[in-house]
A and B are shown apart, each in its own frame.
Chain A
Amino acid sequence: MSQFNIDKGIKSSENVKGQSWRSINILKWPSWERWAAVLAGLLVWTACARLGLVASPYIFGLKFMNLLIIGDPVYNLTLLQIMGTSLETLLIGAGLAFALAVSSGILLGYFRSLNRFADVFISICRPIPPLAWIPVGYVLFAQLPQPTFWVQIMVVFMGAFFPCFNATVHTVQSTDPIIIEAAQTLGARRQRQILAQVILPSAVPGIISGVRSGLGVGWMCIIGAEFVGARMGIGAYIWSLYQLGGRMSEIMIAILSVGLIGYLMNEIVILLGRRIARWYSW
Protein backbone atom coordinates (compact mmCIF):
# COMPACT_ATOMS: atom_id res chain seq x y z
CA MET A 1 0.00 0.00 0.00
CA SER A 2 2.67 2.45 1.02
CA GLN A 3 4.65 1.66 -2.11
CA PHE A 4 1.62 2.40 -4.22
CA ASN A 5 1.36 5.78 -2.57
CA ILE A 6 4.96 6.65 -3.28
CA ASP A 7 4.53 5.74 -6.94
CA LYS A 8 1.43 7.88 -7.24
CA GLY A 9 3.10 10.86 -5.60
CA ILE A 10 6.05 10.92 -7.93
CA LYS A 11 3.90 10.41 -11.00
CA SER A 12 1.73 13.38 -10.22
CA SER A 13 4.67 15.63 -9.44
CA GLU A 14 6.06 14.66 -12.82
CA ASN A 15 2.76 15.57 -14.41
CA VAL A 16 2.62 19.16 -13.28
CA LYS A 17 5.28 20.35 -15.67
CA GLY A 18 3.59 18.68 -18.61
CA GLN A 19 0.20 20.26 -18.12
CA SER A 20 1.25 23.88 -17.77
CA TRP A 21 2.85 23.88 -21.22
CA ARG A 22 -0.33 22.79 -22.90
CA SER A 23 -2.23 26.02 -22.81
CA ILE A 24 -0.34 28.63 -24.80
CA ASN A 25 -2.19 31.91 -24.78
CA ILE A 26 -2.07 33.31 -28.27
CA LEU A 27 -3.91 36.59 -27.86
CA LYS A 28 -3.14 38.18 -24.54
CA TRP A 29 -4.75 41.23 -23.02
CA PRO A 30 -2.04 43.94 -23.19
CA SER A 31 -0.19 44.56 -19.95
CA TRP A 32 -0.87 47.73 -17.94
CA GLU A 33 2.57 49.03 -18.96
CA ARG A 34 1.43 48.96 -22.57
CA TRP A 35 -1.74 50.86 -21.77
CA ALA A 36 0.33 53.37 -19.83
CA ALA A 37 2.70 53.79 -22.77
CA VAL A 38 -0.19 54.48 -25.16
CA LEU A 39 -1.67 56.99 -22.75
CA ALA A 40 1.63 58.77 -22.15
CA GLY A 41 2.28 58.92 -25.88
CA LEU A 42 -1.11 60.50 -26.53
CA LEU A 43 -0.50 62.99 -23.75
CA VAL A 44 2.87 64.13 -25.09
CA TRP A 45 1.42 64.26 -28.59
CA THR A 46 -1.51 66.42 -27.50
CA ALA A 47 0.89 68.73 -25.67
CA CYS A 48 3.02 69.12 -28.81
CA ALA A 49 -0.13 69.75 -30.84
CA ARG A 50 -1.18 72.50 -28.42
CA LEU A 51 2.18 74.16 -28.97
CA GLY A 52 1.45 74.05 -32.68
CA LEU A 53 4.29 71.69 -33.53
CA VAL A 54 2.26 68.87 -35.00
CA ALA A 55 -1.31 68.04 -35.95
CA SER A 56 -3.42 66.93 -33.01
CA PRO A 57 -4.19 63.23 -32.54
CA TYR A 58 -7.82 63.95 -33.43
CA ILE A 59 -7.07 65.51 -36.80
CA PHE A 60 -4.43 62.90 -37.44
CA GLY A 61 -6.95 60.17 -36.70
CA LEU A 62 -9.53 61.74 -39.00
CA LYS A 63 -7.03 61.93 -41.82
CA PHE A 64 -6.02 58.33 -41.21
CA MET A 65 -9.61 57.08 -41.38
CA ASN A 66 -10.13 59.23 -44.45
CA LEU A 67 -7.13 57.69 -46.21
CA LEU A 68 -8.23 54.24 -45.16
CA ILE A 69 -11.85 54.47 -46.29
CA ILE A 70 -12.14 57.17 -48.96
CA GLY A 71 -8.55 57.25 -50.12
CA ASP A 72 -6.20 59.90 -51.39
CA PRO A 73 -7.99 62.20 -53.84
CA VAL A 74 -4.82 62.83 -55.81
CA TYR A 75 -4.44 59.17 -56.78
CA ASN A 76 -7.93 57.92 -56.08
CA LEU A 77 -6.43 55.04 -54.09
CA THR A 78 -7.07 53.99 -50.50
CA LEU A 79 -4.23 53.36 -48.09
CA LEU A 80 -4.88 49.63 -48.23
CA GLN A 81 -4.70 49.56 -52.02
CA ILE A 82 -1.39 51.39 -51.89
CA MET A 83 -0.11 49.01 -49.21
CA GLY A 84 -1.37 46.09 -51.26
CA THR A 85 0.91 46.94 -54.17
CA SER A 86 3.95 47.03 -51.88
CA LEU A 87 2.92 43.85 -50.07
CA GLU A 88 2.51 42.10 -53.40
CA THR A 89 6.03 43.04 -54.42
CA LEU A 90 7.29 41.98 -51.01
CA LEU A 91 5.61 38.59 -51.06
CA ILE A 92 6.82 37.74 -54.57
CA GLY A 93 10.38 38.93 -53.94
CA ALA A 94 10.68 37.47 -50.47
CA GLY A 95 8.96 34.25 -51.52
CA LEU A 96 11.53 33.71 -54.25
CA ALA A 97 14.31 34.63 -51.84
CA PHE A 98 13.11 32.18 -49.19
CA ALA A 99 12.76 29.34 -51.67
CA LEU A 100 16.35 29.80 -52.76
CA ALA A 101 17.72 30.70 -49.32
CA VAL A 102 16.27 27.66 -47.60
CA SER A 103 17.29 25.17 -50.26
CA SER A 104 20.79 26.55 -50.73
CA GLY A 105 21.13 27.09 -46.98
CA ILE A 106 20.38 23.44 -46.29
CA LEU A 107 22.82 22.39 -48.99
CA LEU A 108 25.62 24.63 -47.76
CA GLY A 109 24.90 23.88 -44.13
CA TYR A 110 25.10 20.17 -44.77
CA PHE A 111 28.07 20.03 -47.13
CA ARG A 112 30.81 21.84 -45.24
CA SER A 113 33.24 21.90 -48.15
CA LEU A 114 30.63 23.44 -50.42
CA ASN A 115 30.16 26.08 -47.75
CA ARG A 116 33.88 26.81 -47.60
CA PHE A 117 33.91 27.04 -51.39
CA ALA A 118 31.01 29.50 -51.60
CA ASP A 119 32.00 31.48 -48.53
CA VAL A 120 34.05 34.09 -50.42
CA PHE A 121 31.18 35.03 -52.71
CA ILE A 122 28.63 35.11 -49.94
CA SER A 123 30.83 37.16 -47.64
CA ILE A 124 31.29 39.78 -50.35
CA CYS A 125 27.64 39.92 -51.42
CA ARG A 126 26.17 39.96 -47.93
CA PRO A 127 27.32 43.46 -46.87
CA ILE A 128 26.05 45.09 -50.09
CA PRO A 129 23.01 47.22 -49.24
CA PRO A 130 20.11 45.80 -51.25
CA LEU A 131 19.29 49.27 -52.60
CA ALA A 132 22.68 49.36 -54.33
CA TRP A 133 21.33 46.79 -56.79
CA ILE A 134 18.71 49.23 -58.13
CA PRO A 135 20.83 50.61 -61.02
CA VAL A 136 22.07 47.12 -61.83
CA GLY A 137 18.46 45.99 -61.98
CA TYR A 138 17.42 48.77 -64.31
CA VAL A 139 20.17 47.83 -66.71
CA LEU A 140 19.42 44.11 -66.45
CA PHE A 141 15.67 44.39 -66.84
CA ALA A 142 15.59 47.27 -69.34
CA GLN A 143 14.21 45.03 -72.07
CA LEU A 144 11.37 43.61 -69.99
CA PRO A 145 7.85 45.10 -70.13
CA GLN A 146 7.82 46.28 -66.52
CA PRO A 147 11.40 47.03 -65.52
CA THR A 148 10.42 48.87 -62.33
CA PHE A 149 8.50 45.89 -61.03
CA TRP A 150 11.41 43.52 -61.63
CA VAL A 151 13.88 45.93 -60.07
CA GLN A 152 11.76 46.11 -56.95
CA ILE A 153 11.45 42.33 -56.85
CA MET A 154 15.21 42.11 -57.14
CA VAL A 155 15.81 44.57 -54.31
CA VAL A 156 13.40 42.77 -51.99
CA PHE A 157 15.01 39.50 -53.01
CA MET A 158 18.45 40.77 -52.07
CA GLY A 159 17.17 42.08 -48.76
CA ALA A 160 15.24 38.97 -47.78
CA PHE A 161 17.72 36.40 -49.00
CA PHE A 162 20.68 36.76 -46.64
CA PRO A 163 18.95 36.81 -43.26
CA CYS A 164 17.05 33.65 -44.19
CA PHE A 165 20.06 32.02 -45.82
CA ASN A 166 22.30 32.72 -42.82
CA ALA A 167 19.75 31.42 -40.36
CA THR A 168 19.26 28.24 -42.39
CA VAL A 169 22.97 27.50 -42.75
CA HIS A 170 23.54 28.16 -39.08
CA THR A 171 20.65 26.06 -37.84
CA VAL A 172 21.56 23.13 -40.09
CA GLN A 173 25.18 23.28 -38.94
CA SER A 174 24.25 23.42 -35.29
CA THR A 175 22.11 20.29 -35.27
CA ASP A 176 22.83 18.57 -31.97
CA PRO A 177 25.37 15.81 -32.80
CA ILE A 178 24.02 13.66 -29.95
CA ILE A 179 20.63 13.57 -31.64
CA ILE A 180 22.24 12.48 -34.90
CA GLU A 181 24.04 9.70 -33.03
CA ALA A 182 20.79 8.73 -31.36
CA ALA A 183 19.22 8.32 -34.80
CA GLN A 184 22.20 6.28 -35.94
CA THR A 185 21.99 3.90 -33.01
CA LEU A 186 18.28 3.49 -33.72
CA GLY A 187 19.11 2.29 -37.22
CA ALA A 188 19.39 5.41 -39.39
CA ARG A 189 22.60 4.38 -41.10
CA ARG A 190 22.20 6.22 -44.41
CA GLN A 191 23.00 9.93 -44.72
CA ARG A 192 19.73 10.48 -46.54
CA GLN A 193 17.82 9.21 -43.51
CA ILE A 194 19.78 11.44 -41.16
CA LEU A 195 19.13 14.46 -43.37
CA ALA A 196 15.43 13.83 -43.87
CA GLN A 197 14.53 12.59 -40.41
CA VAL A 198 16.87 14.50 -38.13
CA ILE A 199 18.55 17.54 -39.65
CA LEU A 200 15.58 18.95 -41.57
CA PRO A 201 12.93 18.69 -38.86
CA SER A 202 15.29 20.10 -36.26
CA ALA A 203 16.05 23.05 -38.57
CA VAL A 204 12.43 24.17 -38.86
CA PRO A 205 12.39 26.75 -36.01
CA GLY A 206 15.67 28.26 -37.21
CA ILE A 207 14.33 28.56 -40.74
CA ILE A 208 11.15 30.19 -39.47
CA SER A 209 13.08 32.85 -37.59
CA GLY A 210 15.17 33.36 -40.72
CA VAL A 211 11.97 33.94 -42.68
CA ARG A 212 10.90 36.39 -40.02
CA SER A 213 14.00 38.55 -40.24
CA GLY A 214 14.11 38.21 -44.03
CA LEU A 215 10.58 39.50 -44.28
CA GLY A 216 11.51 42.43 -42.04
CA VAL A 217 14.53 43.44 -44.11
CA GLY A 218 12.58 42.91 -47.33
CA TRP A 219 9.86 45.24 -46.09
CA MET A 220 12.43 47.94 -45.31
CA CYS A 221 13.92 47.54 -48.78
CA ILE A 222 10.67 47.83 -50.67
CA ILE A 223 10.03 51.30 -49.25
CA GLY A 224 13.46 52.45 -50.39
CA ALA A 225 13.14 50.79 -53.76
CA GLU A 226 9.84 52.54 -54.39
CA PHE A 227 11.37 55.96 -53.83
CA VAL A 228 13.15 55.51 -57.15
CA GLY A 229 10.84 54.75 -60.02
CA ALA A 230 7.28 54.26 -59.04
CA ARG A 231 4.60 51.71 -59.10
CA MET A 232 2.08 53.14 -56.70
CA GLY A 233 3.28 51.41 -53.56
CA ILE A 234 3.60 52.90 -50.12
CA GLY A 235 7.19 54.03 -50.67
CA ALA A 236 6.29 55.76 -53.90
CA TYR A 237 3.30 57.32 -52.14
CA ILE A 238 5.46 58.73 -49.35
CA TRP A 239 7.89 60.19 -51.85
CA SER A 240 5.13 61.74 -53.94
CA LEU A 241 3.56 63.28 -50.84
CA TYR A 242 6.87 64.97 -50.22
CA GLN A 243 7.15 66.18 -53.80
CA LEU A 244 3.57 67.45 -53.79
CA GLY A 245 4.40 69.92 -51.04
CA GLY A 246 5.13 67.83 -48.01
CA ARG A 247 1.80 66.94 -46.50
CA MET A 248 3.32 66.05 -43.16
CA SER A 249 0.31 64.33 -41.60
CA GLU A 250 -0.13 62.02 -44.58
CA ILE A 251 3.57 61.28 -44.67
CA MET A 252 3.52 60.34 -41.00
CA ILE A 253 0.40 58.26 -41.46
CA ALA A 254 2.03 56.37 -44.31
CA ILE A 255 5.26 55.84 -42.37
CA LEU A 256 3.49 54.65 -39.26
CA SER A 257 1.39 52.30 -41.39
CA VAL A 258 4.62 50.82 -42.74
CA GLY A 259 5.69 50.21 -39.16
CA LEU A 260 2.34 48.73 -38.25
CA ILE A 261 2.30 46.35 -41.21
CA GLY A 262 5.87 45.29 -40.44
CA TYR A 263 4.89 44.61 -36.86
CA LEU A 264 1.83 42.62 -37.89
CA MET A 265 3.79 40.53 -40.37
CA ASN A 266 6.30 39.73 -37.65
CA GLU A 267 3.54 38.65 -35.30
CA ILE A 268 1.89 36.54 -37.98
CA VAL A 269 5.11 34.66 -38.70
CA ILE A 270 5.63 34.07 -34.97
CA LEU A 271 2.09 32.73 -34.69
CA LEU A 272 2.57 30.50 -37.72
CA GLY A 273 5.88 29.34 -36.30
CA ARG A 274 4.22 28.37 -33.03
CA ARG A 275 1.68 26.44 -35.02
CA ILE A 276 4.16 24.67 -37.25
CA ALA A 277 6.78 23.87 -34.60
CA ARG A 278 4.70 23.43 -31.50
CA TRP A 279 7.44 21.33 -29.99
CA TYR A 280 9.91 24.22 -29.84
CA SER A 281 10.33 26.56 -26.86
CA TRP A 282 9.70 29.84 -28.64
Chain B
Amino acid sequence: MVLMVENVDKEFNGECVLKGITFSLEEGEFACLTGPSGGGKTTLLRLIAGLIAPTSGHICLDGSLSRAKPDIGYVFQEGALFPWLTAAQNVAFGLKLRGISAEETRYLVQEALDMVELTGFDEYYPKELSGGMRMRVALARVLVCKPKLILMDEPFGSLDFRTRNKIQKDMVKLWLRLKPTILIVTHNIDEAVYLSNKIIVLSSRPGQIVEQVSITMDQPRIRTEKSFNLIREHVLSLLGE
Protein backbone atom coordinates (compact mmCIF):
# COMPACT_ATOMS: atom_id res chain seq x y z
CA MET B 1 0.00 0.00 0.00
CA VAL B 2 1.50 3.29 -1.06
CA LEU B 3 -0.88 5.73 0.57
CA MET B 4 -3.13 5.30 3.55
CA VAL B 5 -5.44 8.05 4.70
CA GLU B 6 -7.09 7.25 8.00
CA ASN B 7 -9.96 9.14 9.54
CA VAL B 8 -8.66 12.51 8.49
CA ASP B 9 -10.54 15.64 9.57
CA LYS B 10 -9.61 19.15 8.57
CA GLU B 11 -11.01 22.35 10.01
CA PHE B 12 -10.30 25.91 8.96
CA ASN B 13 -11.21 28.47 11.65
CA GLY B 14 -13.58 26.04 13.29
CA GLU B 15 -15.34 25.17 10.05
CA CYS B 16 -15.14 21.53 9.12
CA VAL B 17 -13.93 21.09 5.53
CA LEU B 18 -13.12 17.40 5.50
CA LYS B 19 -14.62 14.79 7.78
CA GLY B 20 -13.59 11.20 8.42
CA ILE B 21 -11.72 10.68 5.18
CA THR B 22 -10.45 7.12 4.91
CA PHE B 23 -9.05 5.52 1.80
CA SER B 24 -5.91 3.93 0.49
CA LEU B 25 -4.06 3.60 -2.77
CA GLU B 26 -2.24 0.49 -3.96
CA GLU B 27 0.97 0.72 -5.91
CA GLY B 28 0.35 1.53 -9.55
CA GLU B 29 -3.20 2.68 -8.95
CA PHE B 30 -4.56 5.60 -10.94
CA ALA B 31 -7.21 7.28 -8.80
CA CYS B 32 -9.38 10.31 -9.31
CA LEU B 33 -10.81 12.52 -6.61
CA THR B 34 -13.98 14.28 -7.63
CA GLY B 35 -16.86 16.13 -6.06
CA PRO B 36 -18.64 19.49 -6.00
CA SER B 37 -16.54 22.65 -5.86
CA GLY B 38 -15.70 23.76 -2.36
CA GLY B 39 -15.84 20.14 -1.26
CA GLY B 40 -12.26 20.12 -0.05
CA LYS B 41 -10.67 18.19 -2.91
CA THR B 42 -7.66 20.46 -3.14
CA THR B 43 -7.44 20.60 0.65
CA LEU B 44 -7.22 16.81 0.77
CA LEU B 45 -4.47 16.84 -1.84
CA ARG B 46 -2.52 19.47 0.09
CA LEU B 47 -2.91 17.40 3.26
CA ILE B 48 -1.50 14.35 1.54
CA ALA B 49 1.41 16.38 0.16
CA GLY B 50 2.19 17.63 3.66
CA LEU B 51 1.68 21.28 2.69
CA ILE B 52 -0.83 21.55 5.54
CA ALA B 53 -1.44 19.38 8.60
CA PRO B 54 -4.70 17.54 9.35
CA THR B 55 -6.74 18.54 12.38
CA SER B 56 -6.94 14.86 13.28
CA GLY B 57 -6.24 11.52 11.68
CA HIS B 58 -3.20 10.03 9.96
CA ILE B 59 -1.76 10.16 6.50
CA CYS B 60 0.75 7.46 5.87
CA LEU B 61 2.98 7.32 2.80
CA ASP B 62 4.79 4.05 2.23
CA GLY B 63 4.56 3.27 5.92
CA SER B 64 5.95 6.63 7.05
CA LEU B 65 3.92 9.19 8.98
CA SER B 66 6.37 12.09 8.60
CA ARG B 67 4.95 15.39 7.32
CA ALA B 68 7.85 16.20 5.04
CA LYS B 69 7.17 13.98 2.05
CA PRO B 70 9.95 14.16 -0.51
CA ASP B 71 8.58 11.12 -2.32
CA ILE B 72 5.42 12.88 -3.41
CA GLY B 73 5.26 14.74 -6.67
CA TYR B 74 2.70 17.54 -6.83
CA VAL B 75 1.48 18.92 -10.14
CA PHE B 76 -0.26 22.24 -9.50
CA GLN B 77 -3.11 23.82 -11.39
CA GLU B 78 -1.71 25.52 -14.50
CA GLY B 79 1.64 23.90 -13.77
CA ALA B 80 3.20 26.48 -11.42
CA LEU B 81 6.44 26.40 -13.36
CA PHE B 82 9.31 28.69 -12.37
CA PRO B 83 9.04 31.39 -15.04
CA TRP B 84 12.74 32.31 -14.85
CA LEU B 85 13.87 28.78 -15.68
CA THR B 86 13.74 27.11 -19.07
CA ALA B 87 11.77 23.91 -19.53
CA ALA B 88 14.91 21.85 -18.95
CA GLN B 89 15.94 23.87 -15.90
CA ASN B 90 12.45 23.51 -14.47
CA VAL B 91 12.65 19.75 -14.83
CA ALA B 92 16.13 19.75 -13.30
CA PHE B 93 15.04 21.75 -10.21
CA GLY B 94 14.21 18.77 -7.99
CA LEU B 95 17.26 16.80 -9.13
CA LYS B 96 19.58 19.68 -8.27
CA LEU B 97 18.14 19.85 -4.76
CA ARG B 98 18.85 16.14 -4.42
CA GLY B 99 22.49 16.74 -5.31
CA ILE B 100 22.50 14.68 -8.49
CA SER B 101 25.49 15.26 -10.77
CA ALA B 102 25.18 17.63 -13.72
CA GLU B 103 25.77 14.90 -16.25
CA GLU B 104 23.16 12.56 -14.83
CA THR B 105 20.75 15.45 -14.46
CA ARG B 106 21.11 16.29 -18.13
CA TYR B 107 20.38 12.71 -19.09
CA LEU B 108 17.38 12.37 -16.79
CA VAL B 109 15.93 15.72 -17.86
CA GLN B 110 16.17 14.72 -21.50
CA GLU B 111 14.52 11.41 -20.76
CA ALA B 112 11.68 13.12 -18.88
CA LEU B 113 11.11 15.69 -21.62
CA ASP B 114 11.03 12.89 -24.20
CA MET B 115 8.51 11.07 -22.05
CA VAL B 116 6.06 13.99 -22.11
CA GLU B 117 6.74 14.52 -25.82
CA LEU B 118 8.54 17.83 -25.44
CA THR B 119 11.78 16.82 -27.10
CA GLY B 120 13.55 19.92 -28.40
CA PHE B 121 11.81 22.39 -26.11
CA ASP B 122 14.56 22.37 -23.47
CA GLU B 123 15.53 26.00 -23.94
CA TYR B 124 12.00 27.45 -23.95
CA TYR B 125 10.83 29.62 -21.10
CA PRO B 126 7.35 28.97 -19.68
CA LYS B 127 5.97 32.17 -21.24
CA GLU B 128 6.99 30.81 -24.63
CA LEU B 129 5.03 27.58 -24.13
CA SER B 130 1.31 26.95 -24.53
CA GLY B 131 -0.85 25.87 -21.60
CA GLY B 132 -0.71 22.23 -22.60
CA MET B 133 3.03 22.27 -22.96
CA ARG B 134 3.42 23.91 -19.58
CA MET B 135 1.42 21.10 -18.00
CA ARG B 136 3.70 18.61 -19.70
CA VAL B 137 6.76 20.33 -18.28
CA ALA B 138 5.14 20.32 -14.84
CA LEU B 139 4.52 16.60 -15.19
CA ALA B 140 8.07 15.96 -16.37
CA ARG B 141 9.41 18.01 -13.45
CA VAL B 142 7.64 15.61 -11.09
CA LEU B 143 8.24 12.36 -12.99
CA VAL B 144 11.98 12.94 -13.13
CA CYS B 145 12.21 12.66 -9.34
CA LYS B 146 10.59 9.22 -9.52
CA PRO B 147 8.09 9.88 -6.72
CA LYS B 148 6.18 7.11 -4.99
CA LEU B 149 2.97 9.05 -5.49
CA ILE B 150 1.98 11.75 -7.97
CA LEU B 151 -0.71 14.22 -6.98
CA MET B 152 -2.31 16.38 -9.62
CA ASP B 153 -4.66 19.26 -8.87
CA GLU B 154 -7.06 19.84 -11.76
CA PRO B 155 -4.13 19.62 -14.13
CA PHE B 156 -6.05 19.93 -17.37
CA GLY B 157 -8.83 22.25 -16.22
CA SER B 158 -7.57 25.31 -18.04
CA LEU B 159 -6.85 23.61 -21.35
CA ASP B 160 -9.04 23.71 -24.41
CA PHE B 161 -10.97 20.64 -25.42
CA ARG B 162 -8.58 19.34 -28.07
CA THR B 163 -5.40 19.80 -26.06
CA ARG B 164 -7.15 18.28 -23.09
CA ASN B 165 -8.16 15.10 -24.90
CA LYS B 166 -4.72 14.71 -26.32
CA ILE B 167 -2.98 15.16 -23.00
CA GLN B 168 -5.40 12.73 -21.32
CA LYS B 169 -4.56 10.15 -23.95
CA ASP B 170 -0.84 10.69 -23.40
CA MET B 171 -1.37 10.48 -19.66
CA VAL B 172 -2.89 7.02 -20.04
CA LYS B 173 -0.03 5.97 -22.32
CA LEU B 174 2.46 7.18 -19.76
CA TRP B 175 0.69 5.41 -16.95
CA LEU B 176 0.56 2.14 -18.88
CA ARG B 177 4.29 2.43 -19.49
CA LEU B 178 5.57 3.48 -16.06
CA LYS B 179 2.70 2.40 -13.76
CA PRO B 180 3.16 5.22 -11.24
CA THR B 181 0.65 5.70 -8.45
CA ILE B 182 -1.41 8.76 -9.28
CA LEU B 183 -4.11 10.69 -7.47
CA ILE B 184 -5.70 13.36 -9.57
CA VAL B 185 -8.31 15.96 -8.60
CA THR B 186 -10.85 16.76 -11.26
CA HIS B 187 -14.40 17.99 -11.45
CA ASN B 188 -14.70 16.57 -14.93
CA ILE B 189 -16.44 13.19 -14.60
CA ASP B 190 -15.65 12.26 -18.18
CA GLU B 191 -11.96 12.77 -17.46
CA ALA B 192 -12.20 10.75 -14.25
CA VAL B 193 -13.82 7.78 -15.98
CA TYR B 194 -11.44 8.00 -18.92
CA LEU B 195 -8.28 8.02 -16.80
CA SER B 196 -8.66 6.16 -13.58
CA ASN B 197 -9.05 2.76 -11.95
CA LYS B 198 -10.80 4.27 -8.99
CA ILE B 199 -12.98 7.32 -8.53
CA ILE B 200 -13.27 8.68 -5.03
CA VAL B 201 -16.42 10.79 -4.86
CA LEU B 202 -16.56 13.49 -2.19
CA SER B 203 -19.70 15.19 -0.92
CA SER B 204 -20.05 18.93 -0.53
CA ARG B 205 -18.93 20.65 2.65
CA PRO B 206 -18.00 19.06 4.93
CA GLY B 207 -16.33 16.76 2.43
CA GLN B 208 -16.95 13.10 3.12
CA ILE B 209 -16.36 10.12 0.89
CA VAL B 210 -19.66 9.20 -0.74
CA GLU B 211 -18.39 6.18 -2.60
CA GLN B 212 -15.26 4.74 -4.13
CA VAL B 213 -16.08 3.54 -7.61
CA SER B 214 -13.58 1.11 -9.05
CA ILE B 215 -13.33 0.78 -12.80
CA THR B 216 -11.97 -2.37 -14.36
CA MET B 217 -12.33 -1.43 -18.04
CA ASP B 218 -9.19 -1.86 -20.10
CA GLN B 219 -7.02 1.16 -20.96
CA PRO B 220 -7.09 3.06 -23.25
CA ARG B 221 -10.84 3.56 -23.09
CA ILE B 222 -13.37 4.64 -25.64
CA ARG B 223 -15.60 7.43 -24.45
CA THR B 224 -18.59 6.43 -26.53
CA GLU B 225 -18.82 2.87 -25.23
CA LYS B 226 -21.89 1.87 -23.30
CA SER B 227 -20.01 0.66 -20.20
CA PHE B 228 -18.06 3.93 -20.11
CA ASN B 229 -21.24 5.92 -20.03
CA LEU B 230 -22.88 3.69 -17.46
CA ILE B 231 -20.05 4.48 -15.05
CA ARG B 232 -20.31 8.15 -15.90
CA GLU B 233 -24.00 8.10 -15.14
CA HIS B 234 -23.44 6.31 -11.86
CA VAL B 235 -20.84 8.86 -10.71
CA LEU B 236 -23.08 11.73 -11.79
CA SER B 237 -25.97 10.29 -9.82
CA LEU B 238 -23.71 10.08 -6.75
CA LEU B 239 -23.13 13.79 -7.13
CA GLY B 240 -26.86 14.33 -7.41
CA GLU B 241 -26.80 15.64 -10.94
Interface residues of A (CB under 8 A from B): 6-7, 10-11, 14, 17-18, 21-22, 176, 178-179, 181-189, 193, 197-198, 201-202, 204, 277-281
Contacts and interface: CB of A to CB of B under 8 A. Distances in A.
Nearest to B94: A186
Contacts of A176: 80
Contacts of B77: 178
Q: Shortest 5 CB-CB distances between A and B: which pairs?
A: A185-B74, A186-B94, A279-B125, A187-B97, A182-B80
B128 A21 contact: yes
A185 B72 contact: yes
Contact of A187 (B70, B85, B86, B129): B70
A186 B83 CA distance: 16
Nearest to A205: B84
A185 B162 CA distance: 30
A225 to B, nearest CB: 37
A177 to B, nearest CB: 10
B163 interface: yes
6 contacts: A14-B133, A176-B80, A182-B76, A185-B73, A186-B93, A198-B82
A6 B72 contact: no
A21 B125 CA distance: 10
Interface in B75-119: 76-77, 80-86, 93-94, 97-98, 117
B175 interface: no
A184 B128 CA distance: 25
B82 A179 contact: yes
Contact of A201 (B84, B98, B124): B84
B217 to A, nearest CB: 20
Interface residues of B, number: 37
Nearest to A180: B80
Nearest to A18: B128
A10 B127 contact: no
Among B49, B73, B76, B128, max chain A CB count under 10 A is at B128
Contacts of B83: 202, 279-280
Nearest to A204: B84
B117 A17 contact: no
B126 A179 contact: no
B130 to A, nearest CB: 5
B145 interface: yes
B124 A186 contact: no
Contacts of A17: 128-130
B166 interface: yes
B84 A202 contact: yes
A188 B72 contact: no
Contacts of A189: 68, 70
A197 B96 CA distance: 11
Given A188-B97, A202-B84, A182 B130 contact: no
Contacts of B133: 14, 18
Contacts of A202: 82-84
A269 to B, nearest CB: 18
Nearest to A22: B128
Contact of B97 (A14, A193, A280): A193
B76 A178 contact: yes
A186 B12 CA distance: 26
A181 B80 contact: yes
Nearest to B125: A279
Nearest to A3: B169
Nearest to B89: A279
Contact of B51 (A181, A197, A204, A280): A181
